[in-house]
């Protein structure tokens, strides 16, 4: 993902032209801090400069369903551009720096910066693809097959090896399994000669 620098430069241009009232500044967020709750009135869209934000949805039974993670250079809370309330809750899972842009300011940015508009659409398309992929994985009943499908998803087509960029706990949250179930499935995949595992390095055999 690219950084937010291009967006910040564009906001400065709009401010100099008198098209927006102010240039938003970066906010420092602690790990575990909630940026917004689902159903909260949506007034801003947020970009991640550094760190990681997890989008979650709270179920009626009180359990938390992990949607997807947002990393540096990506946006979240974009549903606030056209809806009156956020659809998910957003929680920082690492110390993060984010930018909060009022929705009307961001819409002005999109109208006056067509190249950034295309970049933004591309980023949203990528995030939608990730969300759809996770939904597909979660529909696989067998934990063994679900973990195998996840590994195939994160491994490039032309490669046989992948270095996982997140912990087993984070993988488990993404594909809705308990961490110990993911660990057992990886061990079984290795015992069956499907993969070779060296900590986060996974090689298909």
Q: Where in the chain is the domain with CATH 1.10.10.10?
A: 143-204
**Phi (first) and psi of residue 85, to 5 degrees:** -140, 155
Per-residue pLDDT, 2: 61
pLDDT of 94-123, one tens digit each?
Answer: 999 999 999 999 999 999 999 999 999 999
Q: What DSSP designation does 73 have?
A: T
CATH code reported for the domain at 143-204: 1.10.10.10
Contact 110/117 with Cβ under 8 angstroms?
A: yes
For domain 5-114, give the fold.
Answer: Jelly Rolls (2.60.120)
pLDDT of 39-58, one tens digit each?
Answer: 999 999 999 999 999 999 88
> For residue 169, what are the CA distances in angstroms to 44, 131, 137, 164?
30, 18, 16, 12
Contact 120/54 with Cβ under 8 angstroms?
A: no
Q: Where in the chain is the domain with CATH 2.60.120.10?
A: 5-114
Residue 96's CB: how many other CB atoms inside 10 A?
Answer: 24
The tens-digit pLDDT sequence of the chain (205 residues) is: 467 899 999 999 999 999 999 999 889 999 999 999 999 999 999 999 999 999 998 877 767 788 888 999 999 999 889 899 999 999 999 999 999 999 999 999 999 999 999 999 999 998 889 889 999 999 999 999 999 999 999 887 678 888 998 889 889 988 989 999 999 999 999 999 999 999 889 999 8
Q: Take residue 85 and report the two structure tokens written for it.
A: 């309330």
DSSP H/E element including 168: helix 168-174
pLDDT over 90 percentage in the chain: 70
What pTM was estimated for this model as a whole?
0.83
Q: What is the mean pLDDT of the chain?
A: 91
């Amino acid at each position: 993902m690219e950084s937010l620098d291009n967006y910040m430069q564009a906001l400065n241009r709009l401010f100099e032209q008198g098209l927006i009232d102010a240039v938003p500044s970066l906010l420092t967020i602690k790990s575990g801090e909630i940026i917004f709750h689902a159903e909260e009135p949506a007034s801003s869209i947020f970009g991640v400069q550094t760190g990681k934000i997890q989008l979650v949805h709270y179920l009626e039974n009180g359990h938390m369903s992990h949607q997807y993670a947002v990393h540096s250079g990506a946006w979240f809370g974009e549903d606030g551009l056209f809806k009156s309330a956020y659809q998910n809750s957003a929680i920082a899972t690492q110390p993060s720096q984010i930018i909060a842009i009022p929705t009307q300011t961001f819409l002005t940015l999109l109208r006056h910066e067509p190249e950034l508009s295309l970049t933004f659409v591309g980023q949203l398309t990528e995030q939608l693809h990730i969300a759809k992929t996770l939904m597909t994985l979660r529909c696989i009943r067998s934990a063994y097959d679900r973990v195998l499908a996840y590994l195939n998803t994160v491994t490039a087509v032309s490669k046989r090896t992948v270095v996982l960029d997140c912990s087993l706990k984070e993988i488990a949250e993404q594909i809705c399994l308990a961490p110990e179930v993911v660990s057992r499935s990886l061990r079984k995949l290795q015992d069956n000669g499907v993969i070779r595992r060296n900590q986060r390095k996974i090689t298909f055999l």
